[in-house]
């Protein structure tokens, strides 16, 4: 499997807005926000960045030239897997335009007061949590790189990551998200997931969470024949969202699950 995905940003000149995401789900590829903004602005195109994987504690795209930033509050900002929400940040004029041209009709219900309370409480510990998520993820990325069952690891702050230099320029730490591939393929990945003690699906939570994109795609294919995975994502790809547990517990669990694969 390869980690060759580079740009999923697709400037649509009619709308004069370029959407991009960095780090990119699920491979943790990195896009150069400053370079995208410079090229887009030269053509009068505004740049929006989905910065959910990094959170504002690690990456602030507006400081690198982006015009709009999107965050899923459901993930790191709330951080405890108990509320849904989203945030769109940018200058008042742009946000007003988005709001008046349909945003309020497609974003669902207004945030409940209780969700707002939980998200604001989560926000207080965001920078502390992101330090721990990042430190544990880097330790786990190194462990996985050295493991014989693992074919490749993608984590923005690893020396082997092709865009490490860009990641270090625009992020203060690597976040808790990493992806890895297994020599044992899809069946091996499923065996590993079944053996794990700590884990479930999603990301950006206090608990370590794991996701096998190929198993979701296979399930979708039973109702939609054309369901397929993003270019560059192999059937053996596993996405890990490293939680706040003691890193030695996470590593012990991964090691027993990877044994003899
Ligand atoms: C989950 C996620 C979203 C969507 O957020 P919800 O709060 O679940 O609707 C958007 N972007 C990224 C990168 C995500 O991980």
> Do residues 154 and 251 share a domain?
yes
Q: In what order do the strands lie in the sheet with 86-90?
A: 17-21, 46-50, 68-72, 86-90
Ligand 1 centroid to Cα of residue 256, in Å, is 30
Instruction: Tell me which of 104, 123, 142 is where a domain ends.
Output: 123
How far, in Å, are 11, 54, 101, 189 from residue 247 at the CA level?
A: 40, 20, 46, 21
How far apart are the CA of 201 and the centre of ligand 1, in A? 13
Ligand 1 centre to CA of 204 (Å) is 10
Residue labelled with tokens 């940040």: 89
Question: Per-residue confidence at 185, pLDDT binned at 50, 70, 90?
Answer: very high
- Best of 21, 74, 108, 115 for a ligand 1 pocket test (most atoms within 8 Å of beta carbon): 74
74 Cα to the center of ligand 1, angstroms: 7
208 lines ligand 1 (CB under 6 A): no
- The Cβ of residue 242 has, within 10 Å, a number of other Cβ atoms equal to 29
Residues 180 and 210 in one domain: yes
- CA distance to 45, 107, 219, per residue, from 208 (Å): 38, 28, 23
Q: With the C-alpha atoms ordered 151, 6, 175, 71, is the resulting torsion angle positive or negative?
A: negative
CA-closest residue to ligand 1 atom 3:
72
Domain count for the chain, please give it. Answer: 2
Say if ligand 1 is within 6 A of residue 155 CB: no
The model scores a pTM over 0.75 = yes
Cα–Cα distance for residue pair 1/152, rounded to 1 Å:
8
Pick the residue with more confidence: 12 or 120?
120
- Using DSSP's 3-state secondary structure scheme, residue 145 falls into helix
Rounded distance between C-alpha atoms, residue 250 and residue 53, angstroms = 20
**Based on the domain organization, do 79 and 48 belong to the same domain?**
yes
DSSP letters along 166-217, please?
Answer: HHHHH-SS--SEEEEEETTHHHHHHHHHHH-SS-BS-SSSSS-EEE-HHHHH
Q: Are residues 174 and 197 located together in one domain of the fold?
A: yes
72: CA distance to ligand 1 center in Å? 5
| pLDDT one-digit tens code per residue, 50-91 | 999 999 999 999 999 999 999 999 999 999 999 999 998 999
Of the three residues 74, 96, 123, the one that is the final residue of a domain is: 123
Domain closes at, from 76, 95, 123: 123
For residue 21, the ligand 1 atom closest to its alpha carbon is: 13
Q: Per the structure block, which two tokens stand in for 70?
A: 């999107």
Domain with 26 in it: 2-123
- Which atom of ligand 1 has the smallest separation from the CA of 202? 1
CB contact at 8 A, 156 and 175: yes
Q: Please tell me whether residues 141 and 234 are part of one structural domain.
A: yes
Is 50 found in the same domain as 8? Answer: yes
Average pLDDT, the chain: 89
Torsion sign across C-alpha atoms 219, 54, 91, 119: positive
**pLDDT tens-digit readout, 210-236:** 989 998 888 888 888 888 877 778 899
Dihedral over Cα of 73, 74, 76, 77: its sign: positive
């Amino acid at each position: 499997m390869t980690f060759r995905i580079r740009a999923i940003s697709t400037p649509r000149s009619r709308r004069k807005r370029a959407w991009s995401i960095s780090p990119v789900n699920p491979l943790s590829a990195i896009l150069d926000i400053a370079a995208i903004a410079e090229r887009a602005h030269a053509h009068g195109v505004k740049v929006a960045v989905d910065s959910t994987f990094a959170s504002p504690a690690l990456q602030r795209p507006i400081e690198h030239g982006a015009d709009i930033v999107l965050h899923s509050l459901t993930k790191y900002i709330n951080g405890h897997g108990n509320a849904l929400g989203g945030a769109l940040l940018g200058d008042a004029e742009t946000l007003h335009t988005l709001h008046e041209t349909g945003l309020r009709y497609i974003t669902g219900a207004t945030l409940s007061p209780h969700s707002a309370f939980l998200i604001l409480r989560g926000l207080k510990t965001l920078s502390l949590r992101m330090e721990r998520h990042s430190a544990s993820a880097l330790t786990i990325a190194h462990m996985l790189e050295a493991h014989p069952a693992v074919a490749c690891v993608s984590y923005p702050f690893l020396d082997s990551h092709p865009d490490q230099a860009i990641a270090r320029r625009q992020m203060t730490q690597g976040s808790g998200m990493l992806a890895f591939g297994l020599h044992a393929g899809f069946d091996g990945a499923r065996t590993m997931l079944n053996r794990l003690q700590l884990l479930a699906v999603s990301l950006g939570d206090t608990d370590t969470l794991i996701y096998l994109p190929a198993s979701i795609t296979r399930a979708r294919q039973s109702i939609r024949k054309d369901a397929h995975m993003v270019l560059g994502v192999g059937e053996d790809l596993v996405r890990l969202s490293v939680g706040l547990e003691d890193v030695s517990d996470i590593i012990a669990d991964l090691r027993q699950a990877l044994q003899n694969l």
